[in-house]
A and B are shown apart, each in its own frame.
Chain A
Amino acid sequence: MDLRLPSKVLEHILSFVDSNEDRNSVSLVCKSWFETERRTRKRVIVRNCYAVTPEAVARRFPEMRSLTLKGKPHFADYNLVPDGWGGYAWPWIEAMAVKCPSLEELRLKRMVVTDECLEKIAASFKDFKVLVLTSCEGFSTDGLAAIAVACSNLRELELRECIVEDLGGDWLSYFPETLTSLVSLDFSCLDSEVKLSDLERLVSRSPNLKSLKLNRAVSLDALGSLLRLAPQLVELGTGSFSDKLDQEAVSKLSQAFSEMKELKSLSGLWDVLPEYIPLLYSVCPGLTSLNLSYATVQMPNLVELLTRCSNLQKLWVMDLIEDKGLEVVASSCKELRELRVFPSGAEGLNDTNVAMTEQGLVSVSEGCPNLESVLYFCVQFTNAAMITIARNRPNLKCFRLCVMEPFAPDHKTQKPLDEGFKAIVERCKDLQRLSVSGLLTDKAFEYIGTHGKKLRMLSIAFAGDSDLMLHHLLSGCESLNKLEIRDCPFGDTALLENAAKLETMRSLWMSSCCVSFGACKLLSQKMPKLNVEVIDEHPLETRPDSSPVERIYIYRTLAGPRLDMPEFVWTIQKNPEIGVSHLAIK
């Protein structure tokens, strides 16, 4: 009896299945479900661009309309991955141009995107709609002009924290008069001034524009006229908020803000002067997201603003908010889900007079029942505070604590912060992401290995005593997907003993640790399904097996060794001259 669902029926059912995680499960059921699923998947996400080839992806998902790619490892954000390592978008764009010309959306993160890439996108995908580049580099404003001029159905163009060669603001003027489909524009990371009149015309002919994030060069005066043209905005990133305006201009701006009934997200606010904060009061009650992390405004001025943001779910601030400000948040922003506190001192040390301690976070954990995601930079912390936070908020999903001084102990007891993190992993059973800091012994990692069963991503710096740390993590954290470690004094034994674990993870990064050259070679020999990349500027041919390597990046892959490695990336496939491992294995 043929119990198979007709594929048309299955297709119809699958059209309601959006989540790729579910679709991945569907594709494992049987061959015919695999086939039906792959033919109907429109949104493809590849979280490591070297884990699979572009051709394989195009072959498997012929109906792909949206592609998301991630390139460099996360620590590239902090300059730990040398320039030229890789993460090139070109091979993907080139392949899709041929095999997937109906592609409409491209979202790239931490990739090298050149002007040629952008020109190729503009020329190859006739119905291109969405380009979102996050933490990308390698292109100039000329490439943006190519996109602007050619993509006649463009809906979204977002540059988030990209490094762009800024040749001027002309690129914006290349949007043709016929382009009326824009929904989202984010050029906040660019430096040059765009022509205001062109920007105004673009905004006024874009009735669907919902999100506009300006760069710093857009003046406060200009902001006023833009807001009057687009009162329907849901997301606004202002430019510089510090020009001196006359009374009339100020009241016009105030009026413009009060007309924005749909505004939910506010960011930008560079250099905001305290006297302009009241301009924002009218939009505060509607805000669900507020990014003040570039606004150098001090505490007293923040109170009035925060007390009005009763619906806030996401708040990014600098430590200028101080403990007192976070207390205000705790009592006013009851819907808060995500809090990020960034350091305001340029070098992140305690040479600012900011009164920010662990108490601020404790207050928020007490007052905000929905708090589930925290990123907190501070100078010191205590175990007691973490225990309290864990007790208050067992619903935490993401806890990233950065005590900026490496090896800093509990500043009251001088003990390691082991017990604090133990409380966090023990109580927060759904914790998926954790960053640890401060003075930590192997015990902390024993706790994490024992309790962090849902932990997917873990970041560690300047911690632990021995290989035990790594061993606890690799053998204990069942859901571990991404592990990144820097400046911890060990590596080999735990790595080799838990080699099989590495195939169940997306990637492992270790830099400035004590992973020996021999261990890297041995790992490569044992685990052919992993790419084991040694990133080290010193030649490896003459190094003894015992010498430590500078950085190691290990990731599972179906694509085999990559073909675009620079000279400072060594693998046993690319560099057979480095020979085999001479380690004696029991």
Chain B
Amino acid sequence: MITELEMGRAESELELGLGLSLGGGTAAKIVKPGGGGAWGERGRLLTAKDFPSVGSKRAADSASHAGASPPRSSQVVGWPPIGSHRMNSLVNNQATKKEDDGKKQAKDDETKDVTKKVSGKVQVGFIKVNMDGVAIGRKVDLNAHSSYENLAQTLEDMFFRTSPGTIGLTGQFTKPLRLLDGSSEFVLTYEDKEGDWMLVGDVPWRMFITSVKRLRVMKTSEANGLAARHQDPKERQRNKPV
């Protein structure tokens, strides 16, 4: 029965003639947080436990799950509901605030510089990420990340379940990814300003974010020959994503 979703509701006032039951317990169960996020990307529902508030009991509960850092509400797609233009402006302000007051002007320029260089039909500050085999692309805010590990974690969260043992929509267990060390079946690549595709991780982070135009999570098998050096045009053509 549809309302018997293990949500703890005792009564149901509606006549349920549908004979449906959501299988696998994936949708309904309040699952422990652990690199989780919105349903649409992970196959489980966010609940109050996923949003620790500063100093609240909930924060303590969530933090007690070993090794898991609960998702902040900022990591949920589209929440809080602020339009992208405003979001980018806020991000720029945040980046500015973090710097020394004395160096404020120079940093202003640098921040603007970063966002200006990320050109193309994408949002300033956000760049597109596509993954082989996944029809829907995502966007990630580079300005909100401070390192490759940070970025890789966000991407793994976006495209994969990272807590072992959770059942995906297809009913298969998924393993955590290691996007940066070459040990998984996927690697992280990026297209730079010149249109070349490179492996992520070879240049200093700050240099990377000024030159990256978009990201692609590519099958390792396809990435052979792809390097932090220039590709020949034929390879570039073949590797052109959808």
Chain A residues with Cβ under 8 A from B54's Cβ?
Answer: 350-351
Chain A residues with Cβ under 8 A from B136's Cβ?
Answer: 82-83, 537, 568
A257 contacts chain B at the CB level, 8 A cutoff: no
A342 CA to B89 CA, complexed, in Å:
12
Chain B, 131-178, CB within 8 A of any chain A CB = 134-137, 139, 144, 169-170
Q: Is the CB–CB distance between A586 and B79 below 8 Å?
A: no
Q: Is the CB–CB distance between B20 and A466 below 8 Å?
A: no
Q: Is the CB–CB distance between A512 and B38 below 8 Å?
A: yes
Q: Is the CB–CB distance between B80 and A402 below 8 Å?
A: yes
A251 contacts chain B at the CB level, 8 A cutoff: no
The stretch of B116-124, B200-208, B221-229, B231-239 that contacts the partner chain:
B116-124
A172 contacts chain B at the CB level, 8 A cutoff: no
B51-92 vs A, CB cutoff 8 Å, 1 = contact: the mask equals: 101100000000000000000111011111111111101110
A518 contacts chain B at the CB level, 8 A cutoff: yes
Chain A residues with Cβ under 8 A from B18's Cβ?
Answer: 492-493, 496, 519, 583-586
Q: Is the CB–CB distance between A348 and B28 below 8 Å?
A: no
Chain A residue at smallest Cβ distance from B85: A161
Chain A residue at smallest Cβ distance from B94: A346
A503 contacts chain B at the CB level, 8 A cutoff: no
Chain B residues with Cβ under 8 A from A566's Cβ?
Answer: 135
A377 CA to B23 CA, complexed, in Å:
37
Chain B residues with Cβ under 8 A from A586's Cβ?
Answer: 15, 17-18
Q: Which of B23, B27, B50, B123 has the most CB of A within 10 A?
A: B27
Q: Is the CB–CB distance between B90 and A493 below 8 Å?
A: no
Q: Is the CB–CB distance between A78 and B73 below 8 Å?
A: no
A382 contacts chain B at the CB level, 8 A cutoff: no
Give the Cβ gap from A296 to chain B, nearest Cβ, in Å.
6
Chain A, 458-505, CB within 8 A of any chain B CB = 459, 461-462, 465-468, 471, 486-487, 489-490, 492-494, 496-497
A514 contacts chain B at the CB level, 8 A cutoff: yes
Chain A residues with Cβ under 8 A from B74's Cβ?
Answer: 347-349
B3 contacts chain A at the CB level, 8 A cutoff: yes
A513 CA to B20 CA, complexed, in Å:
15
Q: Is the CB–CB distance between B9 and A465 below 8 Å?
A: yes
Chain A residue at smallest Cβ distance from B46: A487
A584 with B73, Cβ < 8 A, contacts A78-B78, A406-B79, A497-B14 known? no
Closest 4 CB pairs of A and B: A586-B17, A78-B78, A346-B94, A347-B74
A405 with B51, Cβ < 8 A, contacts A346-B90, A349-B72, A487-B39 known? yes
B12 contacts chain A at the CB level, 8 A cutoff: yes
Q: Is the CB–CB distance between B93 and A296 below 8 Å?
A: yes
Q: Is the CB–CB distance between A467 and B3 below 8 Å?
A: yes
A407 with B48, Cβ < 8 A, contacts A137-B121, A468-B13 known? yes
Q: Is the CB–CB distance between A163 and B122 below 8 Å?
A: yes
Q: Which of A80, A82, A514, A518 has the most CB of B within 10 A?
A: A514
A84 CA to B136 CA, complexed, in Å:
8
A135 contacts chain B at the CB level, 8 A cutoff: yes
Chain A residue at smallest Cβ distance from B115: A191
Q: Is the CB–CB distance between A165 and B120 below 8 Å?
A: yes
The stretch of A22-30, A99-107, A538-546, A554-562 that contacts the partner chain:
A538-546
A-B contact pairs, 25 of them (CB 8 A): A78-B78, A83-B128, A161-B84, A161-B85, A189-B85, A293-B86, A294-B89, A343-B90, A345-B94, A347-B74, A406-B51, A407-B51, A461-B79, A462-B46, A468-B13, A487-B39, A493-B2, A513-B39, A516-B2, A519-B18, A537-B136, A546-B21, A547-B22, A584-B18, A585-B17
Chain A residues with Cβ under 8 A from B76's Cβ?
Answer: 406
A71 CA to B21 CA, complexed, in Å:
35
Chain B residues with Cβ under 8 A from A77's Cβ?
Answer: 81, 83-84
Chain B residues with Cβ under 8 A from A348's Cβ?
Answer: 73-74, 79-80, 82, 90
Q: Is the CB–CB distance between B90 and A546 below 8 Å?
A: no
Chain A residues with Cβ under 8 A from B122's Cβ?
Answer: 163
Cross-chain contact of B81 among A78, A346, A514 (Cβ < 8 A): A78
How many pairs, one residue from A and one from B, have CB atoms within 8 Å of each other in the complex?
Answer: 202
A406 CA to B58 CA, complexed, in Å:
12
Q: Is the CB–CB distance between B22 and A402 below 8 Å?
A: no
Q: Is the CB–CB distance between A135 and B20 below 8 Å?
A: no
A349 CA to B56 CA, complexed, in Å:
14
Chain A interface residue bracket vs B? 35 or more
Chain B interface residue bracket vs A? 35 or more
Q: Is the CB–CB distance between B48 and A79 below 8 Å?
A: no
B5 contacts chain A at the CB level, 8 A cutoff: yes
Chain A residues with Cβ under 8 A from B9's Cβ?
Answer: 465-466
Give the Cβ gap from A56 to chain B, nearest Cβ, in Å.
31
A514 CA to B24 CA, complexed, in Å:
13
A346 with B93, Cβ < 8 A, contacts A493-B18, A548-B22 known? yes
A405 CA to B73 CA, complexed, in Å:
7
Chain A residues with Cβ under 8 A from B72's Cβ?
Answer: 347, 349
Chain B residue at smallest Cβ distance from A535: B136
Give the Cβ gap from B160 to chain A, nearest Cβ, in Å.
13
Chain A residues with Cβ under 8 A from B85's Cβ?
Answer: 161, 189
Chain A residue at smallest Cβ distance from B18: A583
B45 contacts chain A at the CB level, 8 A cutoff: yes
Q: Is the CB–CB distance between A514 and B28 below 8 Å?
A: yes
A166 contacts chain B at the CB level, 8 A cutoff: yes
A161 with B79, Cβ < 8 A, contacts A83-B137, A465-B9, A584-B19 known? no
B102 contacts chain A at the CB level, 8 A cutoff: no
Cross-chain contact of A163 among B45, B78, B121 (Cβ < 8 A): B121
Cross-chain contact of A512 among B39, B47, B95, B134 (Cβ < 8 A): B39
Chain A residues with Cβ under 8 A from B19's Cβ?
Answer: 583-584
A466 CA to B45 CA, complexed, in Å:
13
Chain A residues with Cβ under 8 A from B28's Cβ?
Answer: 489, 514
B18-41 vs A, CB cutoff 8 Å, 1 = contact: the mask equals: 111111000110000000001110
Q: Which of A345, A496, A512, A544 has the most CB of B within 10 A?
A: A512
A466 with B121, Cβ < 8 A, contacts A344-B93, A487-B46, A545-B20 known? no
Chain B residues with Cβ under 8 A from A494's Cβ?
Answer: 14
Q: Is the CB–CB distance between A537 and B81 below 8 Å?
A: no
Q: Is the CB–CB distance between A492 and B2 below 8 Å?
A: yes
A253 CA to B113 CA, complexed, in Å:
28
A350 with B21, Cβ < 8 A, contacts A465-B7, A466-B7, A568-B136 known? no
A342 CA to B81 CA, complexed, in Å:
10
Q: Is the CB–CB distance between B2 and A377 below 8 Å?
A: no
Chain A residues with Cβ under 8 A from B137's Cβ?
Answer: 82-84
A425 CA to B137 CA, complexed, in Å:
39
A468 CA to B38 CA, complexed, in Å:
22
Give the Cβ gap from A398 to chain B, nearest Cβ, in Å.
15
Q: Is the CB–CB distance between A466 and B93 below 8 Å?
A: no
A511 contacts chain B at the CB level, 8 A cutoff: yes
A75 CA to B78 CA, complexed, in Å:
8
Other A-B contacts than A137-B121, A408-B53, 13 sampled, CB-CB below 8 A, are A78-B82, A79-B77, A80-B77, A80-B78, A82-B137, A346-B144, A348-B82, A487-B39, A493-B2, A518-B20, A538-B169, A546-B20, A547-B169
Chain A, 395-448, CB within 8 A of any chain B CB = 402, 404-408, 439
A550 with B39, Cβ < 8 A, contacts A78-B82, A343-B82 known? yes
Chain A residues with Cβ under 8 A from B87's Cβ?
Answer: 346
Chain B residues with Cβ under 8 A from A490's Cβ?
Answer: 2-3, 5
Q: Is the CB–CB distance between B14 and A461 below 8 Å?
A: no
A537 with B134, Cβ < 8 A, contacts A345-B90, A347-B72 known? yes
